[in-house]
Structure 1
Amino acid sequence: MSEFNFKQAANEVLDIEVRGLQQLSQYINDDFVKACTTILNNKEGKVVVMGMGKSGHIGKKIAATLASTGTSAFFVHPGEAAHGDLGMIESGDIVIAISNSGESSEILSLFPVLKRLNIRIISMTGKPTSNMAKLADIHLCIAVPQEACPRELAPTASTTATLVMGDALAMALMQARGFTAEDFALSHPGGALGRKLLLKLENIMHTGQEVPKVYAEASVKDALLEISQKGLGMTAIVDQQDQILGIFTDGDLRRLLDSRVDIHTALIGDVMTKNPASASPGLLAVEGLNLMQERSITALLLSENGKLVGALNMHDLLKAGVM
């Protein structure tokens, strides 16, 4: 056992599977286009994926990929379908039936009922002459020269080819639909992309008493106290109607000290940065981040018609998972 060459065995598997995928492109043919068109034009129905054993595991992944990229899809186990779950499939749906041999008895036993319901069937098999291939409305070939299993027993190269064919189908449909990153985020609200594309500044901004603000007539000392208490590294300077006049940040303080201004007597309105960057609370958080990076600032005021309504800093974006 110690002399067995594990690297060689693994590389042989990779070589076999790569060769299988390289020849898969010949099956991206008119039948593939027909399958895509059939699914794309099916405005009301769903795509139901079926498969037994290893094909079933691959089928679940294909269904999940379709569902997350704009095609309504789910997986149904053929065995369960024969015992009641067939009721989940309705006229107008499309079934993608997967079997490398094309002779899965559990799936073939469902064909008569599916046909009676006028459900179109797309089969994915490694044998174009199989019953599943001949009885389906559309057949997608997933044949490979050989399995990576040295005994030609365990599905290996064939399941890889099936998965890739499913990915090709899903990605082609995704592009044909004009499916965007924002669309993707809507079905992935809990993921990092969802947070970046769905989260708005209003969802994470500080409001009310948490917003640091002083009037232009306040002293620099009072402004520094406000910065310290609110902890955002800055304070807004506003008028009596909360209209934004300027901003004063930690960086402004360092520059002010270098200029030898007496912070005890100076008014904040005289040393503030006028016309500061601000954004609408309805702006996407990722766009707010881009604005802050473009302006090289670490805090941002949120306003509506020039009136201060909130504030946030880079730390808030970091906590929200936007960065």
Structure 2
Amino acid sequence: MSDSRIAVLGVGLMGADHVARIQSRISGARVAVVNDYVTDKAEQLAASIPGCRAIVDPLDAIADPDVDAVLLATPGPTHEKQLLACLEHGKPVLCEKPLTTDVETSLAVVRREAELGVRLIQVGFMRRFDDEYVELKALIDGGELGDPLLLHCVHRNPAVPDNFDSAMTVRDSLVHEVDVTRFLLGEEVTSIQIVTPTPNPAARQGLFDPLIAILRTAGGKHVDVELFVTTGVAYEVRTELVAEKGSAMIGLDVGLVRKSAPGHWGGTITPSFKERFGRAYDMEIQRWVDAVRRGGITGTYVEGPGAWDGYAATAVCEAGVQALQSGQPVAVSMVERASIQAGWHR
């Protein structure tokens, strides 16, 4: 079987990283087309890859007959039109979060995919492919610790861009914990509250940092998330499960612990998401490529979170932005999954 020909749309930080990943570490695929609104960047990158072309219009890149599948790393506001184009052309697509930037368009994408009766959209929630999250999920599902009761999560960044605001903390950072909650507990999030402690003096004026998010699931489980994006330290992501018969924690960065004079003890913390989740990204892309290659036989081109998961995360985060503004718990508004065309659930 020949390699799948991938179009990567958006070759900024994340997209360029995916291009390098596909070319150097992923089997069964090659980058055939690149696109970016900064055309010079796309052309320069294409020139460095044998057999790759830069196409100016992203919709033309999707429609190109030499493209088998699409990886979207474009800005969120462009996703709706690009995802619908992928569906209309029958092209499997891995879309970096968000699915779209609002609930209505996310639901429209979900419904259109369901009408086609084939799963083509995978959403880039890479933590589901991280070894530690996979192990924690298996521990929960295995029942050794009994019923899960609580999740305590930490999401810290050393710094964020100057244009980063508190709503972006919800949409761009909390969104991962929302998906982690749904993945680990297997329940939808039904309400969210955002608490704003005393701000970090080092945070830009107007940025409420840290934030505390409090989620409640359909089964009554409690999840709290510390979101602190201006720590000035490093990138830290942790999750602690508290269950009926014990607890478990991941994300401790304990690969190497050292002791040295005079009385120092410790190790290192990953500097950014690329180091912490690099292997998870590799696994995510490899398994997506594998799904694309066997999709004509199995009828699904998705290996991981799909369009519904993207819609659910968008719905929770939209409620989270409302909760940020009001300071009160906000109910998450979602359609019943059963209302989506039955043929889609396979």
> What TM-score does the superposition give when structure 2 sets the normalisation length?
0.28
User: When you count helix as a share of all residues, which structure comes out higher?
Assistant: 1
Greater C-alpha Rg:
1
> What TM-score does the superposition give when structure 1 sets the normalisation length?
0.30
